[in-house]
DNA sequence: TCATAAAGTCGTCAACACTA
DNA sequence: TAGTGTTGACGACTTTATGA
């Protein structure tokens, strides 16, 4: 298949390595001793075990892309390690959103790990679990006399940059609570007098629900958190996989160049040797 | 311009790896 | 050992390419 894309080639290669590992031809090894296996498609159907146990045995898991890429990057300076990249990102965040949080007077954490910071000036800032500011959310503080209460804040949010979206008016002391996660996140406005300890915001107030309902909601909430985390993890994993493939392609290019140079060098040396012996 | 196939993207599930 | 992270697999959906 000549028109196959890189992604497909990679997927096919992965499938071949995992499903036909027993027939694999070892052609090289990675720095930590892992064997790199390349299987040539001979057109055969290959073994496709229906037994899940057997299949699982064959599907021996590779080390994570992070590990492999870091191994590969250890001798290629041009390619930054993933951890280093993350560190850079963290540092970038530290100079932006986190600095605001540190100077804020109230910090609340939602059940999904997101942070809501209300600054001294009454501005609200939403940040994800990693400290990243939530996309499309911006806060405006209205200290003018038109504001019903001093320190009231308009929270403006939209799904797209530039999207006017909707606005919420928060009076002083009120907090925004994420009540649902997923594709359609929902937020509730609560007052601190609802019995919640400062700095911690729970999704539901105790004693307001029957126990089974509470358990069901707790289970639902846990599931939503899990799904949200997994969604994010899948995104991250795919990103790493792309980087990994890109890194391998770079490596191939470098090695091909080296190979070419060495062949030319050998040829030149042979010429010199032949001339001398004549 | 439309229909179709191929490729790409995303969310979810499940299984394994890792860690406290 | 429970909780959490990672990643292959799968299906649904979207985007792109191509031929009629």
Q: What is the pLDDT of residues A170-228, one digit of tens each?
A: 333 333 434 333 333 334 333 333 323 323 333 334 444 567 777 777 778 888 899 99
State the pLDDT confidence band at A254, using cuts at 50, 70 and 90: very high
Judged by C1' against the alpha carbon of A225, the nearest nucleotide is: C4
| % pLDDT > 70, chain A | 24
- For the CA of A19 and the C1' of C1, the distance in angstroms is 31
Q: Give yes or no for residue A101 having a pLDDT over 50.
A: no
Read off the DSSP letter of residue A193: G
Q: What is the mean pLDDT of residues A255-266?
A: 96
Q: What is the mean pLDDT of residues A5-21?
A: 35
Q: Give yes or no for residue A86 having a pLDDT over 90.
A: no
Q: What is the mean pLDDT of residues A244-268?
A: 93
- For the CA of A226 and the C1' of C4, the distance in angstroms is 10
Residue nearest to nucleotide B15 (CA to C1'): A56
Place of tokens 């804040």: A153
Residues with CB under 7 A from strand C: A 11, 14-15, 18-19, 59, 61-67, 229-230, 233-234, 236-237, 240-241
Contact A131, A98 (CB under 8 A): yes
Read off the DSSP letter of residue A197: P
Contact A242, A10 (CB under 8 A): no
Which range, A32-46, A123-137, A205-219, has the best average confidence (pLDDT)? A205-219
User: What separation in angstroms does the CA of A227 have from each of A168, A185, A233?
Assistant: 27, 13, 10
Q: Give yes or no for residue A265 having a pLDDT over 50.
A: yes
- For the CA of A162 and the C1' of C2, the distance in angstroms is 44
Q: What pLDDT is attached to residue A64?
A: 61
Residue nearest to nucleotide C17 (CA to C1'): A3
Give which of A93, A121, A94, A126 is closest to A105, Cα–Cα: A121
Q: What is the mean pLDDT of residues A54-69?
A: 49
Listed as ranges, the nucleotides of chain B within 7 A of a protein C-beta are 6-18
Residue A29: strand, helix, or coil: strand
> For residue A132, is it left (φ>0), alpha (ψ between -120 and 50) or beta?
beta
Q: What is the mean pLDDT of residues A114-119?
A: 40
- Alpha helices (H) along chain A: 6-19, 52-58, 65-73, 82-94, 97-102, 211-277
- For the CA of A72 and the C1' of C19, the distance in angstroms is 44
Residue nearest to nucleotide B7 (CA to C1'): A5
């Amino acid at each position: 298949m000549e028109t196959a894309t890189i992604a497909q080639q990679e997927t096919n290669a992965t499938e071949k390595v995992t499903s036909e590992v027993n027939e694999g031809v070892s052609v090289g090894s990675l720095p930590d001793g892992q064997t790199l296996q390349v299987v040539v498609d001979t057109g055969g159907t290959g073994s496709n075990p229906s037994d899940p146990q057997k299949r699982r045995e064959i599907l021996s898991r590779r080390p994570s892309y992070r590990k492999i890429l870091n191994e590969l990057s250890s001798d290629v300076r041009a390619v930054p390690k993933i951890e280093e990249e993350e560190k850079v990102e963290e540092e970038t965040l530290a100079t932006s959103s986190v600095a605001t949080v540190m100077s804020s007077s109230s910090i609340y954490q939602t059940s999904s790990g997101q942070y809501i910071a209300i600054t001294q000036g009454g501005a609200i800032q939403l940040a994800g679990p990693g400290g990243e500011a939530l996309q499309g959310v911006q806060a405006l503080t209205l200290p003018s006399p038109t504001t019903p209460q001093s320190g009231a804040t308009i929270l403006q949010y939209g799904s797209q940059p530039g999207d006017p979206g909707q606005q919420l008016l928060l009076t002083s002391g009120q907090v925004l609570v994420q009540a649902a996660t997923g594709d359609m996140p929902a937020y509730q406005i609560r007052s601190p007098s609802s019995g919640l300890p400062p700095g911690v915001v729970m999704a539901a107030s105790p004693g307001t629900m029957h126990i089974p309902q509470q358990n069901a909601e707790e289970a639902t909430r846990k599931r939503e958190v899990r799904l949200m985390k997994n969604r994010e993890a899948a995104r991250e994993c795919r990103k790493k996989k792309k980087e990994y493939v890109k890194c391998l392609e770079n490596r191939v290019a470098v090695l091909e160049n080296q190979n070419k140079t060495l062949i030319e060098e050998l040829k030149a040396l042979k010429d010199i040797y032949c001339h001398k012996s004549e």
